Chain A
Amino acid sequence: MSGDNRPSAADVGMRDRKLEGWLNEQTGELTRGVRVDPGHTVIDVGCGDGGFSGFCARQGAEVLFIDRDQARLTRTEARIKALPARAYRAILSDCDPIPLEDGTGDLMICTEVLEHVPDPVKFLHEVIRVAKPGAKLVITVPDARSEQLVSTTAPPQYFEEPNHIRVFTSEAFDKLVLDAGLEIESKHFRGCFWSMFWPLSWMTCEPGGGLPLDNQHAIITHWTQLWHLVQDHPDGHKIRDALNQLLPKSQSIVARKPK
């Protein structure tokens, strides 16, 4: 929280994420039903800046994190190095194929990646190949509803290489996972704060910049403050739960590779 007591969007989004059952330091759950143990080998495919890899490292697991972007991979590595991971490895790869043996991971993480790749069926097949039989997979993609809303104000590049070249309806996402031979354990929708934040932020940011996370336009600071106040209210979770069903930012599937 900043000095003038105004929460940042990142703070507000993180509070929601934890309330939605993610990154639970008490139970060691990455998300509900997915506990990370020190004995686990976790593979984070398309790790980006490594928020989830970092969580797994804090649980003491071995963490293998893969990205095609060297700069992000280096940042993630710097972050993991300082954490009590039992072991770690940064792997630069476009995942075609993933340079790991079959059946390596106890837990596979593939969050907000499949919307970027040219062949998601093939990509997911590689992710599944390096998972042990019986391993869990945490897979997320943006929800089609928030993608539709953000398309009203985001620049065209948002939906072009290397950004979101594919939008998955809920049904299409389920089908992708099931057709790959996985069993779905649970499906969730989350992140409605961001579903409003991003369209508003694209609408009000300076054109030509990057992802407008630190937009200080009054519309953005008001929305962030408003949502923070709503979540402070004893019934605020009801609004969040309902809005997560109506207009989620992201859809997540916890799946299992059959034994």
Chain B
Amino acid sequence: MDKGKRLLSSAVGMRDWKSDGWFNGQTGEIARGVPISPGQTVIDVGCGDSGFIGFVAQQGPEVILVDQDAARLASAEARVRASPARACRAIQSDCDPIPLPDDAGDLVICSEVLEHVPDPVKFLQEVIRLARPGAQLLISVPDARSEQFVSTTAPPQYFQEPNHVRVYTAQAFEALIPDSALAIGAGPPGRPQDPRGPEPVTAKVANHRGAQTRVTATTHSSHRAFPIRYTYNRAILQQGLDQE
């Protein structure tokens, strides 16, 4: 460490992301098993103005941005337009419904959004509707344990509209996804699965760095009874809590 050179928390966090297999510039994977290619259409629901957009756009796909906040959306759009993304659309919407046809995306991202919305089951149904059969969904919410920890010092507004109105335990998060007409299956990243497939299994990957539970879901063949593969990434506290 250089004396006098201060580390930015964002730089430290990004190093962890990359070390955990996210934002892999070599393979074009936004997360392990979730590659982005120029031929794809990527929809980011609740994109905000930071998050994943920069990496997604850099891989050259068509990018469809959806957010209810006009200012954030405009800022995100400007970033995508200045990138190698082959096309860009920005849609201001409260996502009830999302003004896009069924099966519009090869990859649908919904990152750190479901904790803000009044009806997450309905919201997630809209998100899933946009994913074409075989598409991947990348969904994340804050983990309940870090939310509990932050609640000891954060102001009450942290847990009020328009911030985090809902906290998901891992179990509740898992339950949310089958509730949205998805079934849970297992398989190695990126490998198609037999929809009649084996018993649902959870693929768990210990992660000692991230701060959120993240799920990647690979959808297959129909919007009913999708087998999905998901990967749990567990944070330092979460790993400590893991009793297995």
Give A residues with C-beta under 8 Å from B: 144-146, 148-149, 152, 169, 195, 235, 238-239, 241-243, 245-247
Q: Is the CB of A148 within 8 A of B240?
A: yes
> A200 to nearest B CB, angstroms?
12
Give B residues with C-beta under 8 Å from A: 145, 148-149, 152-153, 208, 236-237, 239-243
**CB-nearest residue of chain B relative to A196?**
B236
**CB-nearest residue of chain A relative to B146?**
A246
Cβ of A148: which chain B residues have Cβ within 8 Å of it?
239-240, 242
Closest 5 A-B residue pairs measured CB to CB? Answer: A145-B240, A238-B152, A247-B240, A242-B152, A246-B237
> B65 to nearest A CB, angstroms?
36
- Apart from the given pairs A148-B239, A243-B149, A246-B145, 20 other A-B contacts in the complex at a CB distance below 8 Å: A144-B243, A145-B240, A145-B242, A145-B243, A146-B240, A149-B236, A149-B240, A195-B240, A239-B152, A239-B153, A241-B152, A242-B148, A242-B152, A243-B237, A246-B149, A246-B237, A246-B240, A246-B241, A247-B236, A247-B241
Q: Is the CB of A169 within 8 A of B153?
A: no
> A150 to nearest B CB, angstroms?
10
Q: Is the CB of A145 within 8 A of B241?
A: yes
> B115 to nearest A CB, angstroms?
19
> B80 to nearest A CB, angstroms?
38
In the complex, 24 of the A-B residue pairs with CB atoms within 8 angstroms, ordered by the A residue number, are A144-B243, A145-B240, A145-B241, A148-B239, A148-B240, A148-B242, A149-B236, A149-B239, A152-B208, A235-B152, A235-B153, A238-B152, A239-B152, A241-B152, A242-B148, A243-B237, A245-B148, A246-B148, A246-B149, A246-B237, A246-B240, A246-B241, A247-B236, A247-B237
- A238 touching B153 in the complex, CB below 8 Å, given contacts A152-B208, A247-B237: yes
> A10 to nearest B CB, angstroms?
23
> B34 to nearest A CB, angstroms?
26
**CB-nearest residue of chain B relative to A171?**
B243
Between A149, A169, A195, the greatest number of chain B beta carbons within 10 A of the residue's beta carbon is seen for A149
**CB-nearest residue of chain B relative to A143?**
B240
Cβ of B243: which chain A residues have Cβ within 8 Å of it?
144-145, 169
**CB-nearest residue of chain B relative to A149?**
B240
> B50 to nearest A CB, angstroms?
27
Q: Is the CB of B242 within 8 A of A242?
A: no
Cβ of B145: which chain A residues have Cβ within 8 Å of it?
246
**CB-nearest residue of chain A relative to B242?**
A148
> B1 to nearest A CB, angstroms?
9
Cβ of A246: which chain B residues have Cβ within 8 Å of it?
145, 148-149, 237, 240-241
> A247 to nearest B CB, angstroms?
4
What separation, in Å, do the CA atoms of A41 and B149 have in the docked complex?
41
Cβ of A238: which chain B residues have Cβ within 8 Å of it?
152-153
> A75 to nearest B CB, angstroms?
33
Cβ of B241: which chain A residues have Cβ within 8 Å of it?
145, 246-247
What separation, in Å, do the CA atoms of A144 and B241 have in the docked complex?
8
Cβ of A235: which chain B residues have Cβ within 8 Å of it?
152-153
> A154 to nearest B CB, angstroms?
14
**CB-nearest residue of chain B relative to A144?**
B243
Cβ of A145: which chain B residues have Cβ within 8 Å of it?
240-243
Cβ of A247: which chain B residues have Cβ within 8 Å of it?
236-237, 240-241
**CB-nearest residue of chain B relative to A169?**
B243
What separation, in Å, do the CA atoms of A247 and B237 have in the docked complex?
6
Cβ of B153: which chain A residues have Cβ within 8 Å of it?
235, 238-239
What separation, in Å, do the CA atoms of A145 and B145 have in the docked complex?
14
Cβ of B236: which chain A residues have Cβ within 8 Å of it?
149, 247
What separation, in Å, do the CA atoms of A212 and B237 have in the docked complex?
23
Q: Is the CB of A242 within 8 A of B208?
A: no
